[in-house]
A and B are shown apart, each in its own frame.
Chain A
Amino acid sequence: MLGVLAACIVTAGALYRLAPSLTVVEVYAPTAKASSATPLCPWRKSEEDMKVFFPGATHYDTHIAILSERLAQLKARLGRWPRPEENPFYIHDVYADNRLLGRVALQRVKGEFGAIEVVLAVDNFGAVRGLRLQRLREPDVTARVLQSPQWLHSFRGQDQSSVLKLGVDVPDVPPVAKKSATAIVEGVRSLLVLLDEASQTTARATARATARRQDKHH
C-alpha cells in the first residue's frame, strides 16, 4: 500500500515539474476533423468530381465546421434558420500535394419530384468553380435542362456577394424545370454563404488562438 502511495507521490511530483511543457494551449477550434459518421448528403463521386473541378488535385481532406456561433448572421443571410444538416457543415478541402486548390461542399435541395443533391466546388477566393447534380429524380425533360453544361457552367465565378437569381446571374429555364432550378440556385447561394461563414469562423478562431498565445508569452 505504501509502495503504491509512494509511486503516486513520485509521479505527481514529476508531472508537476513537467507541467509547463505539458500545458495545452487552449485553442478554440470551430472546425473539427470529420467523424466516421456519414453526412446526410455524402460526396458520392469524389475522385471523379475532383478531377473535373480541380485538375491536378491529389487528395481531399474533410472537416466539419461548427457554425453555432454564427446562427444569427446565417439567419439574416440565408433568410431562414440553418437546417440541421447545415450545422455541423461538412467541407472538403481539395489539395494538389500540400497546396490548397479549393473546397467542395454539398447540399440537398427540394426538387419538384424529389431531393436533388448539389455538389459545389469553389476556389480559394470563394468563387464557384464548378457545379454538379450528383443525384436527382426529375423526369427526363427537367433533368436535361438542369444537367445541361451551359446552365451548370453559368454558375462559374459567382460568389457569396452575387444576387444569384434565375434570369439575373443565372440563365432562366423553361417553366417545366423552374421549380427545381430555383431550388438549385437557392442551394448554391446557401452553400456559398455557409462556406463564407465557415471561413470567417475559422479565421476568427485562429486569430483568437494567436492572441491568446501572445498574451501567454507576455
Chain B
Amino acid sequence: MLLLSLRNLTRRPLRSALTLVGLAIAVATLACLSAFGNGYERSLGSEINGMGMQLMLVPMGCPYDAAARVLRGKGLEYSLGQDAVEQARRDPAVEVAAPLLMAAVPRVQENRTDVWVGLDQAARQLKPWWNTSAGKEWFDKPNSVILGAEAAELEMRATGDKLFSPETRHTFQVSGVLKRSGTSDDSLFFVPLATAQSMFKQPQRITAVAIRLRDPSLLPEAAERLQKIPGAQVVTLTEMMGTFLNLIGAARALLTSIAVVALAAGALGVFNTLLAAIVERTGEIAIMRALGASKMQIFGLFTIESLLLTTAGSLLGLLMVSVAGRGFENIARHLVPMAPTGAILLLTPVLMAQCMALGAGIGVLAGAYPAWQATRLSPANALKPE
C-alpha cells in the first residue's frame, strides 16, 4: 500500500512538490522559533549563572535597565557611594561584594566606545574564568591595565606595552591580556578601582556592587535587607533573566501565531492536494472497490499519502533549519535585546521529534476528510458512463 501511495503522489510531481515545500516552510518556521526560544533561555541562563553572582546593587532608577547596562559593559549615569560596599559586606548572607566603576569614553571618530572598568580584588572571586593569556593575572601597580582580548588586538598591545587614555590623560602599562571569553569582557579595559575613580573624577563612587551569597536560598531575605541601603536597589539575576525572557516571550508568541497560520496553510495544501487526487482518481477508486478493496483499505491508502507528504515536508523543513539556522541565528542576534554570546538556536532531538510528530498529526488530520470522501464513493455510480 505504501508503494501504491508513493506512486500516486509522483503522478503529479509538481503539485506534490509544491504542497511539500509549503509544509516544509511552515515546519521550518515553527522549528526555528522553538529552537530559538530554547537556545535563548539556555544560553542566557548559562551566561547569568556563569557570572558567579546572584544579585547586584545598582543606583536607584530602572533596575533592569541599570543592571543590563552594567552587564553589557555600558556606563551608568548615576553612581552609588562606596560605603554601599561596606554595608553589603556586613550582611551575614553576603559572601562576596565586589564594587565596579564603569565608564564609557565615546571615540566618535572611530565609531566606538572605550569602556573602562574599575575593579577591586573581590571581583576576581566572582570571575572564575578570569585568565590572562599573557602577563600577570592582576594589577601590580596603580597604573596597570588588563585588557580584554579584543581591546588588546585593537590597540595592538601586549604585556609591558604602554597605553594612553587621551581623554583622561592617564598613561598605563599593560600588565596582562585576558584570554578570549566570548563575553563583553573581551572589549573592556580593566583598571584598579581607585585608578578608575581618579580617572573619571568619581572619588568614593561606584556604579554597581556585584554580590554572591553564601547560600543562594538566602536570596529573598538578603535582597530585602540590602534594599535598605540608601540610594541603592537590588536586582536579582533571576528577576533579570525573567524580564528578558518575558520580553522575548511576547515577540515569540506573535511569531508563533504566524507560524501556526503557516502550518494551517500547509495543512490546507495537503487537504486540497488529496481532495483533487480523489476527484481525478474516482474511476480508479471505484475499480479498486469493485475488485474487493474494503473502505478501510481506501481510507488507509489516502491517509498514507497524506502522511507521506507531511512527513517528507517536515523532514525537509528540519533540513532547512539545520542548513539555514546559523543565518537565522545571526539575524536574531542583532534583533533581540541582551542576546547572549552562546548559541541561541538550539535544535534538540526532542524538538525535531516534536516537529515530526506535529507534521504527522497534521497529515492525519488533513488527510482524514479526503480519505473519508474516498470511502463514500459508490463503485456503481462512479463507473456509470456519463
Contacts and interface: CB of A to CB of B under 8 A. Distances in A.
A4 B13 contact: yes
A138 interface: yes
Contacts of B165: 137
Interface stretch (A10-18, A54-62, A112-120): A112-120
B157 A139 contact: no
Contacts of A134: 109
Interface residues of B, number: 19
B154 interface: yes
B156 A139 contact: no
A78 to B, nearest CB: 17
A115 B155 contact: yes
A204 interface: no
A138 B111 CA distance: 19
A108 interface: yes
A137 B171 CA distance: 10
B162 interface: yes
Contacts of A1: 10-11, 13
Contact of A44 (B14, B110, B164): B110
B349 interface: no
Contacts of B128: none
B155 A135 contact: no
B385 interface: no
Given A108-B156, A138-B164, A139-B164, A113 B171 contact: yes
Contacts of B109: 44-45, 134-135
Interface string A94-118: 0000000000000011111111000
B277 interface: no
Given A134-B109, A135-B109, A135-B110, A113 B164 contact: yes
Interface in B175-201: none
A134 B163 CA distance: 18
Contacts, number: 42
A109 B154 CA distance: 11
B13 A114 contact: no
A135 B110 CA distance: 8
B107 to A, nearest CB: 8
Contact of A113 (B10, B13, B110, B162): B162
Contacts of B163: 113-114, 137
A110 B110 contact: no
Interface string A137-160: 111000100000000000000000
Contacts of B156: 108-111, 114-115
A119 to B, nearest CB: 12
Contacts of B11: 1
A137 B13 contact: no
Contacts of B13: 1, 4
B164 A137 contact: yes
Nearest to A44: B109
Interface string B127-158: 00000000000000000000000000011110
A112 B161 CA distance: 7
A215 B6 CA distance: 53
B166 interface: yes
Interface in B8-28: 10-11, 13-14
A205 B261 CA distance: 54
B110 A112 contact: no
Interface in A11-70: 44-45
A114 to B, nearest CB: 5
B158 to A, nearest CB: 9
B10 A114 contact: no
Nearest to B111: A44
Contact of B155 (A4, A45, A137, A139): A137
Contacts of A139: 164, 166, 169, 171
Q: Among B109, B161, B163, B164, which residue has the most Cβ atoms of chain A within 10 A?
A: B164
Nearest to B109: A44
Contacts of B154: 115
A139 B10 CA distance: 76
A139 B165 CA distance: 8
A137 B166 contact: yes
Nearest to A134: B109
Interface string B333-351: 0000000000000000000
Nearest to A1: B13
Contacts of B169: 139
A109 B155 CA distance: 9
A4 B111 CA distance: 55
9 contacts: A44-B110, A113-B164, A113-B171, A114-B163, A138-B164, A138-B166, A139-B169, A139-B171, A143-B166
Interface of B: 10-11, 13-14, 109-111, 154-157, 161-166, 169, 171
Given A1-B11, A112-B162, A114-B155, 6 more contacts: A1-B13, A44-B111, A108-B156, A113-B164, A137-B163, A137-B164
Question: Top 4 closest A-B pairs, CB basis?
Answer: A113-B164, A110-B156, A115-B156, A114-B155
